[in-house]
Amino acid sequence: MWNYQIEENILYEDKEILVCRKTAGMPVQAAKIGTMDMESALKNYLAQKTPGKIPYLGVVHRLDQPVEGILVFAKTSEAAGNLSKQMMAGGAGKYYLAVTEGKAKSSEGILTDYLKKNGKANMSQVVSANTPGAKKAILHYKVLDQQEINGKSRTLLKIRLETGRHHQIRVQLSHEGLPLLGDRKYNPEDSSGLPLGLCSCHLVFRHPVTGKKLEFQVTPKGECFAGFPNI
């Protein structure tokens, strides 16, 4: 079952890389034994293609479990090293679509904050720049649409990440007064009952061997996006 689903979600594959779409709710790597995750499902898929050989699969970036969207995995250690550098150094373009509660103060902007991760609570928070362990987080946003849905204002944003911090989009938007729809972790007052309104919709990077620019895009499937027909 999992192999069929994973195969249906593969967007591109060659000898060095594998690009696929992660469904919302599926972890990239298992948090506990017995939980199916992207890494295991893809390894099973690759193992069936080369019986008797243990496949290599490098995780070079992640999406939170409730987030849907595009991920690239490495099929060689050399590709993993190259892609990891691109992700860390900002060489890759990571774009998201997000549905938030409320209205944005301006049609576009840049959010710059310092975030500190609390590993025990699996959360991050905005702190002052001189806080020990704080990391700078930069996010660019543009308003694509605003709607009144069930009597409440909701905003569709296109986001580009300049940094890749833990829960960055969720924390920064919540701090800005634009919590993600369905994000009960950073907005406990959310009563929508909807899954998280966040999708990694567009990924741009250089092929780790050829250097060719590769670009992939998907349309969100989550319920939060249903109120915005022009995505």
Residues carrying an active site annotation: 64
> According to the 3-state scheme, what is the secondary structure of the chain?
CHHHHHHHCEEEECCCEEEEEECCCCCCCCCCCCCCCHHHHHHHHHHHHCCCCCCCCEECCCCCCCCEEEEEEECCHHHHHHHHHHHHCCCCEEEEEEEEECCCCCCEEEEEEEEEEECCCCEEEEECCCCCCCEEEEEEEEEEEEEEECCEEEEEEEEEECCCCCCHHHHHHHHCCCCECCCCCCCCCCCCCCCCCEEEEEEEEECCCCCCEEEEECCCCCHHHHHCCCC
